[in-house]
Structure 1
């Protein structure tokens, strides 16, 4: 038995197991469509995932019934119905814990200027499958008959773990350039390779991705980054030129290594840091951490300098990198809180270096914790992930230094409740002691006391009041 044949047999065995789990609902729905004179097929990603043994509770079906006919067929059977996709031929419903979408056969045409299709209903399952992105997503299983339809060799591609398009890739990508990014996403999620002709079309047509909205690119990119193997997806983005369209900072990390001014290959180092960061995740993929790992050194190309001795430096690359990260993520329409968290991690990722030289006071540790705030666990992970040196002694020393810092943070936190560092006097106490109303003076006094708190640790009430009065006198403020 060949490896491909064995893989096909295993895939079919997994599919039977997965389909048995959903068959009671799927077959019941199929019988309702058949009674009304219509076909119903499990399709696309649902069939692919069943063959991979990872079918979830979201099922996709296709049918020759029009949306209004689908609504009549499921009336009284579905436990919930939603029609937000009706204009595109999709009706959603829920039944026994399954979320189901039923879409009318499509025969869309594309204007090839935007990516928006002119929605046209079709009458053929095979034609519907042909308009799908990849052959592994162009398979169907009829219900309740369980007849398998695979006109474009998706099952073989699945066994060989390769992505091909049902038709010519140039035609597929011209219709919808987002499919090129989706190829990289599936490579990351499913650990599939990309067929040579598909890769060649991606290289030739990478610029067409500019036709796609930032929001749709962002959504595909997030899925890629949260995949099981984002490194493969990222390499594909760079190698095909797709990254240049929406994330040129990643391509820019491929710095030329000077003959005499040697430094790490920043691009390769970055990919290692992303992989290292994944090893620190404890509750599934953490996009914020992975994105910070990807962007942490994007400020290096702009800050690279060669000294008189031939040494290379990247002074303040964390500051430049945080700014570039913020700009790029804003252009991709990420939510403000995600942009803030990722750019802050980029800004802080170098703060730890120097701790091992014994230069940090307890005040510096307090500031480290306070500046990181709720990002501290991710900052720990990012900083540790950034150690990619092949020098084992140096790597062990950095790890020991960070172990010591975390232990010191834990000690000070236990003593001072670092998670809630606040001035030793609140706003009401400041107003009462200084005899001032709410306003800018109270804010300035509050910030001064917080600085003291970070610098010296907790003060008792008398010390805090004395320090506030000294500050007020220096500021020319007197209690009336």
Structure 2
């Protein structure tokens, strides 16, 4: 196993002070998988004050933000981010969201408290001895997710580990053992004691993996999703032989898959807002499902209902305000394009589409394209062609009119001067009127906009 030269320098510093130092956890796992990054995790017999003092010998950038938990971090030349943590021997209370931090004296005591065997391996930095008391290397080769002790004890210690098992299913492509899955099902309600922020962060990490689908299936099948994101398993609507419609849950996962593929195709980084919107874009369907005549099923206004449900759930999970706003905008607008293929949109309609999407236009392009999951090749090709045409029109209008900065031809100061009114509701009404003119007619110029505004004021003020 290749070990970066920076590790040798750290080993010398800690050994000279009489302390053990081990590369540990995900760093060992990823090194064995050939994926070692520049973030390195270590555990040591040294206490936090000693760690801080020793790291200052190898780095000018040392931080102690995790000191209460025994962790000191630093940047090391070459772009390495190092975190060193004192051996831990934490205990947990059944009603507590957080561990009662306790420092330990042995490596084995530290490793047994880790989440999964593939993260419970270590390398002695001084001797390069590989330490694997729980069979993590064998599990790595078998590509399974197993806990060092019993899964019941591990998940009781920290229930968030159940969500982490789902995430590693996607991140590593591994499969949880039967015992792990059984414990997740039986202990799902333990997630209720975990803070919304920790749940949100773990869900976000899952969605940002290269292939979230398998992890999401574990998340739903074990009942974890029902505790923290119940709108997702609710998409598993019963599909009977008479009222045929798509399996909304599987459709949503396919939309997510296709959105991720389009991210890569367009050279974009993994986008949490886009991925959450893709996963939740149809969560309004269960509440709006209606059985119509001739065996048809409708979901009228599921876009609007879905946006409201998403806003409530994402706020409960403490997503950032801007993220909630952007995700809900995408969900509310994800059906708008479907009117385009049914008839020619005027330039005014295209401008409104751009105006309503605002800074979410690129994401809306991706979500709308990803939402085409029909197996009918002719229909799929027709939808792609229609959206290609819409994007071309948007680009053409943008080149002519600066659509991405669409504003009325007169600003607020000009409106107040022309109408002789102070700042207030009248100016807002006038501004909205001029913006509608701009959307309907394109740029009018200051003179024509002023003439139209005078006419409007004569009739409305």
TM over 0.5: yes
Q: Which residue of 1 aligns with 2:365?
A: 380
Deviation at 1:359, TM superposition (A): 4.2
Q: Which residue of 2 aligns with 1:466?
A: 451
Q: Which residue of 2 aligns with 1:119?
A: 101
- Please state whether the residue corresponding to 2:161 is helix, strand or coil: helix
Q: Which residue of 1 aligns with 2:235?
A: 253
Matched, 1:136 2:121: no
CA distance in 2, matches of 1:105, 1:261: 59
Q: Which residue of 2 aligns with 1:272?
A: 254
Matched, 1:369 2:354: yes
Matched, 1:210 2:208: no
Task: Give me the TM-score of the superposition, normalised by structure 2.
Answer: 0.97
- Please state whether the residue corresponding to 1:141 is helix, strand or coil: strand
Matched, 1:293 2:278: yes
Q: Which residue of 1 aligns with 2:269?
A: 284
Contact (CA 8 Å) 2:45, 2:86: kept in 1 or not?
A: yes
Task: Give me the TM-score of the superposition, normalised by structure 1.
Answer: 0.93
- Please state whether the residue corresponding to 1:109 is helix, strand or coil: coil
Deviation at 1:238, TM superposition (A): 0.6
Of 81, 86, 89 in structure 2, the residue corresponding to residue 99 of structure 1 is 81
Of 85, 89, 92 in structure 1, the residue corresponding to residue 70 of structure 2 is 89
Of 54, 58, 77 in structure 2, the residue corresponding to residue 73 of structure 1 is 54
Q: Which residue of 1 aligns with 2:176?
A: 194
Of 383, 392, 400 in structure 2, the residue corresponding to residue 398 of structure 1 is 383
Stretch deviating more after TM superposition (25-34 or 372-381): 25-34
CA distance in 1, matches of 2:52, 2:298: 65
Contact (CA 8 Å) 2:52, 2:64: kept in 1 or not?
A: no
Provide the alpha-carbon RMSD of the alignment: 1.2
Deviation by residue 1:416-468 (Cα, 9 ceiling, x = unmatched): 11111111112222222212222221121111000111112121333212210
Q: Which aligned runs of 4 or more in structure 1 are off by greater than 6 angstroms?
A: none
CA distance in 1, matches of 2:314, 2:358: 21
Q: Which residue of 2 aligns with 1:225?
A: 207
5 Å matches for 1:168-179?
168-179=150-161
Of 299, 307, 314 in structure 1, the residue corresponding to residue 299 of structure 2 is 314
5 Å matches for 1:127-166?
127-166=109-148
Deviation by residue 1:26-77 (Cα, 9 ceiling, x = unmatched): 1121122212221110000111111111111111111111112223333433
Question: Which 5+ residue runs of structure 2 have no aligned equivalent?
Answer: none
Deviation by residue 1:375-402 (Cα, 9 ceiling, x = unmatched): 1111010000000000111111111111
Deviation by residue 1:92-141 (Cα, 9 ceiling, x = unmatched): 12221322111111111111211322222111111110100000000000
**Number of residues paired by the alignment?**
457
- Please state whether the residue corresponding to 2:213 is helix, strand or coil: helix
Question: Which 5+ residue runs of structure 1 have no aligned equivalent?
Answer: 1-14
CA distance in 2, matches of 1:74, 1:112: 36
5 Å matches for 1:446-461?
446-461=431-446
